[in-house]
Amino acid sequence: MSEDQRSKEEILKELLLTEEDTLKKLKVLIDKTKTLVKIDQKTNRIVVSNEFDFSNPERILLFFIGKYFAKELGISEKEGMLVTELEKESGIKKTTLSKPLGGLFYSGYVGQDGEKNYFVHHYKIEEIVNSLHSRYLEKNPDAKGIVIKYKPSAKKKKKGE
């Protein structure tokens, strides 16, 4: 192997993530997450912090994030929730859940499996937690928060159109 090839390879190795890198990143994420949501060890229920005035979409995301980590810990069989389960756990009425849940789905924060369980996309967790942490704990006035897009509703045709 030529000297240039070895140098190139050394430079490219900087792209590789080690297990240690991944664990450090997870530790930082968990340190931020635990200020927003926790999992009750006795009941395995998701507990969203009452310290902050979260919007309904933010509360929903935090329940899904808690559920994701509960699944990762092996204390939940699934990472998602049915709307009725989310209503029961969050205290947000089913009729109030539909619009924010639809917006979160349309915006790509949450998905839905074949059994109608909603779940947070794991690759969005860091973005969500960082945004909420910045907004509520760092009290950053420039924090944009969670950006939710709503699916445009179909316009009803007026008579004669």
Q: Which of 69, 151, 63, 79 minimizes the C-alpha distance to 115?
A: 79
DSSP 158: P
DSSP 156: P
Does 76 reside within a domain? yes
Structural domain count, the chain: 1
Does 28 reside within a domain? yes
Does 109 reside within a domain? yes
Does 113 reside within a domain? yes
pLDDT for the residue 43 = 93
> What integer best gives the mean pLDDT of the chain?
90
Give just the sign of the alpha carbon dihedral 100, 49, 84, 119.
positive
Q: Which of 109, 133, 106 minimizes the C-alpha distance to 121?
A: 109
The continuous run of DSSP H or E covering 46 comes out as strand 46-48
If you average pLDDT over residues 126-133, what whole number do you get? Answer: 94
Does 5 reside within a domain? no
Q: Which domain holds residue 34?
A: 23-137
Does 8 reside within a domain? no
Model confidence, pTM: 0.83
What share of the chain has pLDDT > 90, as a percent? 71
CB neighbour class for 6 (10 Å; exposed up to 12, middle 13-18, buried from 19): exposed
- The amino acid at residue 90 is S
Residue 51 token pair: 């310290």
Does 145 reside within a domain? no
Q: Which of 20-24, 44-48, 152-156 has the lowest mean pLDDT?
A: 152-156
Would you say how long the chain is, in residues? Answer: 161
pLDDT for the residue 154 = 57
Cα–Cα distances in angstroms (integers) from residue 154 to residues 25, 124, 147, 157, in the given order: 43, 29, 22, 9
Does 156 reside within a domain? no
Asked if residue 157 has pLDDT above 80, the reply is no
Q: Render pLDDT for 82-109 as a digit per residue (tens, 0 to 9).
A: 999 999 999 999 999 999 999 999 999 9
User: pLDDT category, 113, cuts 50, 70, 90?
Assistant: very high
Q: Render pLDDT for 9-32 as a digit per residue (tens, 0 to 9).
A: 989 988 988 899 889 999 999 999
CATH number at residue 73: 1.10.10.10
Residue 124 token pair: 């969005």
Rg of the chain (C-alpha set): 20
If you average pLDDT over residues 44-52, what whole number do you get? Answer: 95
